[in-house]
């Protein structure tokens, strides 16, 4: 009798945690790409000051 109570309690605990994890995954919000300037870097010094760093500007610096 005691063993079945523990097994039932354990299985219900596992089922509840599984359900909680599934809800957490579905209710998670998406991250905005480029929010607050995180996508592109603005160059602060030099010839290309205040330009967004992309492949064309950085191409000359690569060797």
Q: What is the pLDDT of residues 14-61, one digit of tens each?
A: 999 999 999 988 888 777 766 666 567 788 888 888 888 776 666 655
Between residues 36 and 5, which one has the greater pLDDT? 5
Q: How many CA atoms lie within 13 A of 12 on its CB side?
A: 6
Q: Tell me which H or E stretch contains 47.
A: none
The pTM of this model reads 0.42
Closest CA to 60 of 44, 45, 47, 42: 47
**What is the rounded average pLDDT of the residues 1-6?**
82
What's the pLDDT at 35? Answer: 66
């Amino acid at each position: 009798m005691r063993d079945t109570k523990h097994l039932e309690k354990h299985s219900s605990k596992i089922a509840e945690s599984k359900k909680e994890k599934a809800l957490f995954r579905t209710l998670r919000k998406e991250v905005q790409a480029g929010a607050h300037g995180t996508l592109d870097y603005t160059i602060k010094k030099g010839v290309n000051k205040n330009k967004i760093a992309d492949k064309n500007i950085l191409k000359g610096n690569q060797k």
